[in-house]
Chains A and B, each alone.
Chain A
């Protein structure tokens, strides 16, 4: 099976410059630097690379919205979003640990494409080990003159999930509370300190060396229509072999589960969350679904950042919903009333149900409240509060009904 990011993961010293260079490292960057900015962007557009931090937006298209330097003179920036915090996702952590130079090369390619002379890697504070590894690789790159086209600086976050949202990340970088902005303008037009800024995920940027070396078409061929290349799933929960698994876009859910050894022995599959806890779950009947942004969207959930959590029959949907709402309540930035209040109420209602004090109105209330939150807030965290309040009781009404004597899921 074609692997792009994890191809050389059996090489223990991949994080060292000498080893990385020996394995075709920085050849993509060398190629990019002989091309015009427009040609690099065109190659990435051709590749059908989609953003792998959660939103799946075509990367080439995002870069294309950066105003050209003659229209908007002045600095522009690339920011690496290494604030991975979606529950269930850890593939960026692994990529940072094992292949920091792959990321650095990708970052330098992106910087060339948009004409950035300064770039930043924003890494979550809880990844201090990874910060040290990246800092070391960065020093190697600096010493070897690789960052002469664009300087790279590191910055750490301070524990907020919402800092992982692009506009909130920029707010954090500007030394403010991580309150998401409401585009337009989008970051590519007015981002860091109101300058044109491309925010890209670790995995997304890591794909660029291959795209520049082998060409966008070769990358596109590996995936499914409009979803180029591969995707790295972080698999966890009730499986035999937790770990990251890189597969071509358009692989079947069933195949990824098999790579992870299937549901743990002696248990039966109840649900699979495909992209991190913000995404609605899939069921056993969905196992033949193809995993790419568009097919998953059509099935009513999202590929997200590929945080695949497997749940077996021991998992209780009420406990799961409560766990996720608790997380969202804690992480809500607080600026939008429906999210700030609604997440708190959702958690409280679910906690009451767990304590055996659920009432018949609870489930319809959760649903009604959810409908009044999703789509009526600035960012996707709020949207998720509303989705979670509805989706787990819709998919697993028995788990809820058995805790509420005369209640009905709605």
Chain B
């Protein structure tokens, strides 16, 4: 049952269905909120206040409640990220294995500073906290998938992503 819309939905009908699905995925509807916001982040590469407000309506939660969650978790951004959001771990093991150098390499190869998006919208990169791949330090991630160790070669290969 879609609640009456006060906010013009920024989502397509299919996306609305997915979000509503998250209200029914777990025993209590609020439990689907983080997954629903993950979907929004995936589609739009960020979460706008309008999107958060519509999610609030679907979950029958106040805007501020949803906005608080959006701003708390690092996965959710209120500014755009690239289609390929590249993460480079700068946790201790990765720092010991030269993550600083790989940050410079990423900046040079992708042509943008950390958290900036390339003009074509394809890439953004940022340092991240421990990705759980310490034996492949310094760990590289693209859109929540571990890619192995960051080297000049593996970073250069990122540009081949479609």
Contacts and interface: CB of A to CB of B under 8 A. Distances in A.
A365 interface: no
A159 B73 contact: yes
A203 interface: no
Interface string B55-82: 0000101000100110011111000000
Contacts of B92: 87-88, 237, 273, 277, 309, 320, 323-324, 327
Contacts of A125: 38, 75, 144
A35 to B, nearest CB: 27
Interface string A210-250: 00000000000000000000000011111000111000000
Given A277-B91, A315-B96, A234 B134 contact: yes
Contacts of A331: 129
A101 interface: no
B72 A126 contact: no
Contact of B96 (A126, A127, A157, A238): A238
B135 A126 contact: no
Contacts of A243: 135
B124 interface: no
Given A236-B93, A236-B135, A320-B92, A155 B144 contact: no
A89 interface: yes
Interface of B, helix, strand, loop or mixed by DSSP? mixed
Contact of A129 (B74, B90, B130, B146): B146
Interface string B92-105: 11011100000000
A315 B92 CA distance: 10
Contacts of B68: 176-177
A233 B69 CA distance: 33
Contacts of B137: 236, 242
Given A243-B135, A323-B92, A87 B31 contact: no
A75 B27 CA distance: 10
A174 B30 contact: yes
Contacts of A362: none
A178 B68 CA distance: 11
B26 A153 contact: yes
Interface size range on B against A: 35 or more
Interface size range on A against B: 35 or more
Contact of B130 (A75, A86, A244): A86
A108 B129 CA distance: 32
Contacts of B25: 153
Interface string B122-136: 000000111111110
Contacts of A157: 34, 73, 75
Given A128-B144, A175-B69, A93 B93 contact: no
A238 B98 CA distance: 12
Given A175-B34, A177-B68, A311-B96, A242 B75 contact: no
B149 to A, nearest CB: 10
Contacts of A86: 130
Nearest to A175: B33
A330 interface: yes
B145 interface: yes
B37 to A, nearest CB: 7
B34 A158 contact: yes
A373 interface: no
B30 to A, nearest CB: 4
Nearest to B141: A126
B152 interface: no
Nearest to B25: A153
A166 interface: no
Interface in A76-98: 84-90, 92-93
Contacts of B141: 126
Interface string B26-47: 1110111111011000000000
A181 interface: no
Contacts of A75: 27
A93 B133 contact: yes
A3 interface: no
B93 A309 contact: yes
Contacts of A92: 132
A75 B26 CA distance: 13
B93 A158 contact: no
Given A126-B146, A177-B69, A333-B72, 15 more contacts: A85-B132, A90-B134, A126-B128, A126-B131, A126-B141, A127-B132, A156-B38, A158-B38, A158-B73, A159-B74, A175-B34, A176-B30, A177-B73, A236-B137, A323-B90
5 contacts: A87-B93, A128-B145, A175-B69, A237-B93, A309-B92
Interface of A: 75, 84-90, 92-93, 118, 120, 124-129, 153, 155-161, 172-178, 193, 234-238, 242-244, 273, 277, 307, 309, 311, 315, 319-320, 323-324, 327, 330-331, 333
